[in-house]
Structure 1
Amino acid sequence: MILVELDEDDVYEVETALDNFKELELDGDEVGQDNFSLPSLRSRLEFAANTVHQSGGVAVLRGLDPSRYSVEDNTIIFLGLSSYIGAQRGIQNPKGLVLSHVTELKSWSTPRERRHGIHTNRELPFHTDMGCSILAMHVRSRASSGGELCLVSADAIHAQLQEEDPEVLATLAAADWPVQVAGQRPPYILAPLLQEHGGKLVIALDPARIGPHPAARAGLVPSLRPAQHEALALVQKVARQHQVKISSCTGDMIFINNWSLLHAREEYDDGASSARHVVRLWLHDPKLGWEVPPQMQVAWDAAFGFRALKVPNRLYPVAPLPDYMEPKYSNGTAAFVVDDDDDSNDWAAVKDDLVHDQDGDEHGSHIGTSTARPS
């Protein structure tokens, strides 16, 4: 892990970049390296980007205090700094949502069991955000206790399984895992969870997206074989043995190579007057980004590729809404992109609810919207 600590001069440079960008009177979604200039910080941010991409690692930017800025300014700062790690921003739902708010508001009356996992205080298992190249998170506020980010590398899992259980490794590498997708028939793809591609070991695994969803109509997605269930359970066990906990601070911006690292979240408790709040981006860098495995192209295209370009808007909600919009059911530990071009009534009804699966905030206050184009 690389830690980029910002001193007073660095913070001043970031705030100057913020002021200069606001003077341009552009929509917030237009922020990027060209109009969020950081001449002194640039070299350290480029080193962080290279570490995340080339070493398959994680970078943390530390030293900014979110309480000093408005929610709009915090969002612009996050977008501006993250553009140096990954120049392209992906959408996280079919309405064009680019920013997700991972939190649990006290105003939400919907029971936890009827909310998506990222909108509860529950523990989240090891997973990747399938279809994302770089996962970026801005810690706006921490939990009173718990909620730590846990990471494990695909290399560590591969090495232990190769030595102790090569049959499970072969099961994970087989291209016969049914991964839920939408907007196509059938509503799944068959893909390996762990593979070598482009000279790199790549992992793409979310337990909640693999096999049929319990609430879905029977037969839409194939069931997992016993050997596949056992392999998933063993991955979680091995991941816990090799996990590294990232003790984050309020204001941290965390960038994770989503092709090489699994991440999990510990259960947490909020304070009486505070709530854990993390803002999430999905990033890709055209120059540094890893080559997308063909079996994961469908998921990646929904966030960054031609499917994403079909979505007319880009939405940047600066805060979650106080009222939670309950989905019929939610797919994926991290939630995932769903397309609107499937005309099957039963599946379309599910998709309409899954639109709100991320945050239920696509109609809230935004820093700007745009027509679809690479970000």
Structure 2
Amino acid sequence: MATVDTLPSYDLWSDAPGYLLNKPEWEAANASHPASFSFGDVPKGWPSQITGPSVWTGDDLRRNPDSYLRILKEEEIEEIDTAIKAWKQLSIPQIELSRSNFPLPTLGPVLRQLANNIYNGTGLQILRGFPIAQYSTEDQMIAFLGINAWIGDQKLNQGAQRAVCHIKSIAHLDPSQRGKIYVSAQDTNPQMYHSDAGGDIVGLMAVSTSGKGGRSKVASAAQVYNHLAKHRPDIARILAEHKFRWQAVGIPKDGVRLIHYQDGKLFLNFSTRTFIGYGEVPDRDTNFPELTFEEREVFGGWQWVADQYSFSTELQTGDIEWVNNLHHQHARFGFTEDPSNPRHLLRVWLRDSELSPKKPADMQNKFDAMFGVEPNLVPVDELEEDVIRKSTGIFTGSCEKALADYRLEKGGIGALNKKADR
């Protein structure tokens, strides 16, 4: 895989070169419409502009860091440390970490306020200041899961029964000895704007941020819509009214609309990778037609308007970033890394039973199909995760035997990470 040193700048990048539009290609397509051309009106039943705290620009957040950034206090770090030590005395699997067995008397209520901001405020939250380098790999995972339990009480299945995903490049491994790279979480390339496949909230912890690049980018989907409603309502209308077809759990055969307006908010859950494949699994499902040029222009318009209004930040080691996966999309610059200390993020998908909103029906159907089986394990690292993935396919299947064989080979590593048989 190419590194960022040999990649074009982000605005020239596309995960399907010549097919999905980079920024200059989008701008050329946009400018090609005659001045007299009518783009029509906004989608039927939609407002001309959406308002509320989840509608913001990157400049808005930079002017008001308190709207998304919370710095841990020393006594709060000590409280986390105490909770880690107390939890380890319980000798139960990491998958069973919860608010009840990871008590944070002072920090816990603060995290519940942050959860409310993620659901009902800006939809972006960063918790900064956790000294992650001072902790063992096991304790890092305990802290990550324990803190996240206070943000959302439900950890969701990320495929193959995983509660945690390791965002770490495996491109350097021998391709014959690993699974195929099929998502940008597994290489160093940039990521276009996307929703993760599931979950109300995407939570990331920066374990290591070595090398150069890799800035996190988040965009308010409602802000993107507001721009399109004014300048290119046809793009908003196609996304809101046209049924896009692709193969995915919970997706009806005739497809789904990609953006929805409900209860005064814009809901969405899609990525362009769904329609075209990615990396070493580039083939789209041939049961469905190729995207038309109009649809490709739609995705290009959404991507580059999102980038225009995005908030970009360099995550610091120990940061936990939460993004509302129902109302926003996120992206990432490409990066290079120090091979002796690779860039590494942990990811969890969350839902909070108290704060989770009613979703548009097709999104709810998709989520119900994806999360019918609760996660059952916490992979120790990206290598164990790859073993699981190779044994199960990309997102489905049972991984019990492969996981047991791997851990036996490694001398029992991760034995407390799998839910005990009842």
Smaller-chain TM-score range? 0.7 to 0.9
Letter of the structure 2 residue corresponding to residue 42 of structure 1: G
Given the superposition, is the C-alpha separation of residues 105 and 222 from structure 1 closer, same or farther in structure 2, using an over 3 Å criterion? closer
Q: Is 1:73–2:122 an aligned residue pair?
A: no
Could you give the per-residue CA deviations for residues 219-249 of structure 1, whole angstroms, max 9, x where no partner exists? Answer: 2x34333322210111111111111102211
Given the superposition, is the C-alpha separation of residues 72 and 113 from structure 1 closer, same or farther in structure 2, using an over 3 Å criterion? closer
Aligned equivalents of 2:303, 2:404: Cα separation in 1: 32
Whether contact under 8 Å (1:90, 1:282) holds in the other structure is yes
Q: Partner of 2:257 in structure 1?
A: 192
The number of aligned residues is 341
Counterparts of residues 104-123 of structure 1 (less than 5 Å): 104-105=169-170, 108-110=173-175, 114-116=180-182, 117-123=184-190
Deviates more, 1:103-112 or 1:230-239: 103-112
Whether contact under 8 Å (1:88, 1:283) holds in the other structure is yes
2:419 to 347, 370, 374: 370
Q: Partner of 1:23 in structure 2?
A: 89
Counterparts of residues 43-54 of structure 1 (less than 5 Å): 43-54=109-120
Given the superposition, is the C-alpha separation of residues 308 and 371 from structure 1 closer, same or farther in structure 2, using an over 3 Å criterion? farther
Deviation at 1:140, TM superposition (A): 0.3
Q: Partner of 1:266 in structure 2?
A: 333
Whether contact under 8 Å (1:317, 1:362) holds in the other structure is no
Whether contact under 8 Å (1:180, 1:211) holds in the other structure is no
Deviation at 1:143, TM superposition (A): 3.1
Aligned equivalents of 1:369, 1:327: Cα separation in 2: 16
Q: Partner of 1:233 in structure 2?
A: 300
Aligned equivalents of 1:361, 1:230: Cα separation in 2: 47
Letter of the structure 2 residue corresponding to residue 58 of structure 1: L
Could you give the per-residue CA deviations for residues 227-284 of structure 1, whole angstroms, max 9, x where no partner exists? Answer: 2221011111111111110221101111110011110010000024221101110000
Deviation at 1:98, TM superposition (A): 1.2
Q: Is 1:202–2:202 an aligned residue pair?
A: no
Q: Is 1:218–2:286 an aligned residue pair?
A: yes
Secondary structure of the 2:417 match is strand
TM-score of the two chains, using structure 2 as the length reference: 0.73
Deviation at 1:119, TM superposition (A): 1.0
Secondary structure of the 1:256 match is strand
Could you tell me the percent identity over the aligned residues?
27
Q: Is 1:153–2:220 an aligned residue pair?
A: yes
Deviation at 1:372, TM superposition (A): 10
Q: Considering only aligned residues, what root-mean-square deviation do their CA atoms show, in Å?
A: 3.1
Aligned equivalents of 1:150, 1:295: Cα separation in 2: 27
Deviation at 1:97, TM superposition (A): 1.1
Aligned equivalents of 2:265, 2:385: Cα separation in 1: 43
Could you give the per-residue CA deviations for residues 202-231 of structure 1, whole angstroms, max 9, x where no partner exists? Answer: 121200113688525632x34333322210
Deviation at 1:65, TM superposition (A): 1.9
Whether contact under 8 Å (2:218, 2:310) holds in the other structure is yes
Q: Partner of 2:20 in structure 1?
A: none
Could you give the per-residue CA deviations for residues 129-149 of structure 1, whole angstroms, max 9, x where no partner exists? Answer: 132210000100003110011
Given the superposition, is the C-alpha separation of residues 372 and 137 from structure 1 closer, same or farther in structure 2, using an over 3 Å criterion? farther
Deviation at 1:12, TM superposition (A): 0.8
Letter of the structure 1 residue corresponding to residue 326 of structure 2: W
Whether contact under 8 Å (1:171, 1:227) holds in the other structure is no
Aligned equivalents of 2:404, 2:331: Cα separation in 1: 24
Q: Partner of 1:5 in structure 2?
A: 71
Whether contact under 8 Å (1:91, 1:97) holds in the other structure is yes
Whether contact under 8 Å (1:115, 1:326) holds in the other structure is no
Whether contact under 8 Å (2:275, 2:284) holds in the other structure is no
Whether contact under 8 Å (2:171, 2:187) holds in the other structure is no
Any gaps of 5 or more consecutive residues in structure 2?
A: 1-66, 408-412
Aligned equivalents of 1:175, 1:27: Cα separation in 2: 45
Q: Is 1:143–2:210 an aligned residue pair?
A: yes
Q: Partner of 1:128 in structure 2?
A: 195
Q: Partner of 1:98 in structure 2?
A: 163
Aligned equivalents of 2:420, 2:272: Cα separation in 1: 33
Aligned equivalents of 1:235, 1:107: Cα separation in 2: 32
Whether contact under 8 Å (2:250, 2:368) holds in the other structure is no
Letter of the structure 2 residue corresponding to residue 271 of structure 1: D
Deviation at 1:5, TM superposition (A): 1.2
Could you give the per-residue CA deviations for residues 29-49 of structure 1, whole angstroms, max 9, x where no partner exists? Answer: 111111111111122111100
Deviation at 1:288, TM superposition (A): 0.4
Given the superposition, is the C-alpha separation of residues 361 and 173 from structure 1 closer, same or farther in structure 2, using an over 3 Å criterion? farther
TM-score of the two chains, using structure 1 as the length reference: 0.82
Aligned equivalents of 1:324, 1:44: Cα separation in 2: 36
Deviates more, 1:38-47 or 1:197-206: 197-206
Could you give the per-residue CA deviations for residues 93-139 of structure 1, whole angstroms, max 9, x where no partner exists? Answer: 1x201111111258612299952321110011000013221000010
Aligned equivalents of 2:404, 2:315: Cα separation in 1: 25
Letter of the structure 2 residue corresponding to residue 315 of structure 1: L
Any gaps of 5 or more consecutive residues in structure 1?
A: 332-336, 341-351
Aligned equivalents of 2:202, 2:267: Cα separation in 1: 15
Given the superposition, is the C-alpha separation of residues 24 and 217 from structure 1 closer, same or farther in structure 2, using an over 3 Å criterion? closer
Could you give the per-residue CA deviations for residues 303-362 of structure 1, whole angstroms, max 9, x where no partner exists? Answer: 43xx225xxx6110121218956989xx9xxxxx7444xxxxxxxxxxx9xx8xxxx999
User: Which protein is richer in strand relative to its size?
Assistant: 1
Secondary structure of the 2:378 match is strand
